[in-house]
Amino acid sequence: MTGLPLRTADVVIVGAGVQGAALAFHLAGRGAEVLVLERSSVAAGATGRSSGFVRMHYDLALEAELAWRSFPWFTEWRDRVGTGDPGFVRTGFVQLVGSAHADALRANVAAQRGLGIDTSVVGPVELGDILPGMAVDDVGAAAYEPRSGYADPTGTAAGLLAAARARGAAYAAGVRVLAVRMSGDRVAGVATAQGDVDAPVVVDAAGAWAAELARTAGLEIPVEPWRHDTAYFGLPPARPSSIPIVLDHAGAVYFRPEGGELLLVGLETGNEVGGSPDAPIPGYDPGVLGPMVERLTARVPWMADGDFRSANRGQDGMTPDQRAILGPAGPDGLFLDCGHSGSGFKTAPMVGQCLAEWILDGRPGTVDIRPFGLERFAAGRPLLGEHPYESLWR
């Protein structure tokens, strides 16, 4: 749908990725009049190129809690959302770290078990059972979540948006938001290429374009475009019957099955950060394929008999501490839901609920997400894990 279905709203959400869609769903469920504006189409940005992990392991307890509380939305979708299908596939999830971070992983698993997460520390013998043929000599410690898996990011966002519209939200695709409109020191709505919309609250969920939009309201936010390649490889005939998601911190690579014939692979280092979000995005960087194959086959040597099928590149917004920016900032009425740094898919259901509470009730109630506020950067309080691993992606 193009054009503007509404000229006034209680809340305008800029961006129809999974975060914007989840927020619209929760706001509309509370009776707010919501308008979602999207420059392209649902999930056309970071969401559509997400690897779709649904797992809970983080070195920051607050992120683990958001992922854990979001998990039932993927497994109980019919009862909680009712429209669409997230396509959740249970595979299990494995986190691998080197010896330097072994104690941190054990401490993180203990904290996550305290939240109720089904996770445990596993050794080399158990890893061999979880994924036969995996090389583990350089693994200092590993965590295993048997209930985790992956989902379809586009289907998840589309389902949440359809459910939000069934609750009364409006949606317009192909609408470029030019600026946040102001009345004195507070938000008055947005200006678009199709005209103005009046609203007392605007949510910047614009992904890689979040900083550009915030700037129109006189607000500088530390969100840079971050570009990341993933590739699909055909699985060899002699392969394990089941393959979990593997986040290989020790080898700086990750992979998961895609159906029964493919393996999705991504690198955790050497990604492009900065530049314009409007710069052309090539299909993929051929230079990443060599390191992908090298790191993948170092971990699972049987993939040497696989074959390259395709690759793509997507972009998101990244912050200095690689954590999201959430909550009110700048002029009265402007809220941020951006800077998810490639990790926003699995937390979207709960972030949407908590941010809806913040907008409508004045504070988040279900989970206190206020530590994700923009002010942490000026105060020199970046979000760091309680038992941190080293930063990746860059």
Domain that holds residue 371: 1-88+148-223+319-394
Please give the pLDDT value at position 392: 58
Per-residue confidence in pLDDT tens, the chain, 394 aa: 457 998 999 999 999 999 999 999 999 999 999 999 999 999 999 999 999 999 999 999 999 999 999 999 999 999 999 999 999 999 999 999 999 999 999 999 999 999 999 999 999 999 999 999 999 999 999 999 999 999 999 999 999 999 999 999 999 999 999 999 999 999 999 999 999 999 999 999 999 999 999 999 999 999 999 999 999 999 999 999 999 999 999 999 999 999 999 999 999 887 889 999 999 887 888 888 999 999 999 999 999 999 999 999 999 999 999 999 999 999 999 999 999 999 999 999 999 999 999 999 999 999 999 999 999 999 999 999 999 997 654 3
Question: Which residue in 40, 333, 390 sits closest to 188, CA to CA?
Answer: 333
Q: How many residues does the chain have?
A: 394
Which helix or strand (DSSP H or E) is residue 263 part of? strand 262-267
For residues 177 and 205, membership in a common domain is answered with yes
The tokens describing 344, both together, are 């926003």
For residues 156 and 72, membership in a common domain is answered with yes
292 Cβ neighbours under 8 A, 6+ residues apart: 231, 253, 265, 266, 267
For residues 76 and 115, membership in a common domain is answered with no
Which helix or strand (DSSP H or E) is residue 229 part of? strand 224-234
Q: What is the pTM of this model?
A: 0.96
Task: Report the largest interatomic distance among the alpha carbons of the chain, rounded to a whole angstrom.
Answer: 67
CA neighbours within 13 Å on the CB side: how many for 186?
Answer: 7
Which helix or strand (DSSP H or E) is residue 77 part of? helix 77-80
For residues 326 and 388, membership in a common domain is answered with yes
> For the chain, how many structural domains are there in total?
2
Q: Which domain CATH number covers 348?
A: 3.50.50.60
Which of 293, 314, 335 represents a domain boundary (last residue)?
314
For residues 8 and 82, membership in a common domain is answered with yes
For residues 212 and 84, membership in a common domain is answered with yes
- The residues with which 279 forms a beta bridge, in sequence order, are none
Q: Which letter does DSSP use for residue 332 in this model?
A: B
Report CA torsion sign: 270, 276, 278, 279: negative
Which ranges constitute the DSSP H helices of the chain? Answer: 18-29, 61-75, 77-80, 102-115, 124-130, 153-166, 210-215, 289-299, 348-361, 375-378
Please give the pLDDT value at position 1: 40
The torsion angles phi and psi of 135, rounded to 5 degrees, stand at -75, 130
Q: Helix 153-166 crosses helix 348-361 at what angle (to 10 degrees)?
A: 30
Sheet holding 149-150, edge to edge: 53-54, 149-150, 89-90
Amino acid at 360: L
3-class state of residue 188 by DSSP: strand
Query: 184 burial class (0-12, 13-18, 19+ CB within 10 angstroms)?
Result: exposed
270 Cβ neighbours under 8 A, 6+ residues apart: 288, 291
Which of 314, 343, 370 represents a domain boundary (last residue)?
314
For residues 193 and 257, membership in a common domain is answered with no
Neighbours of 152 (CB within 10 A): 18
**Residue found under tokens 């314009």:** 276
Which of 272, 298, 314 represents a domain boundary (last residue)?
314
For residues 55 and 195, membership in a common domain is answered with yes
Q: Which domain CATH number covers 253?
A: 3.30.9.10
For residues 121 and 172, membership in a common domain is answered with no
Please give the pLDDT value at position 2: 52
3-class state of residue 284 by DSSP: coil
For residues 290 and 208, membership in a common domain is answered with no
For residues 384 and 243, membership in a common domain is answered with no
The torsion angles phi and psi of 290, rounded to 5 degrees, stand at -60, -55
Is 335 in contact with 288 (CB distance < 8 Å)?
Answer: no
For residues 234 and 305, membership in a common domain is answered with yes
Query: 117 burial class (0-12, 13-18, 19+ CB within 10 angstroms)?
Result: buried
3-class state of residue 128 by DSSP: helix
How many angstroms separate the Cα of 85 from the Cα of each of 57, 74, 299? 24, 9, 33
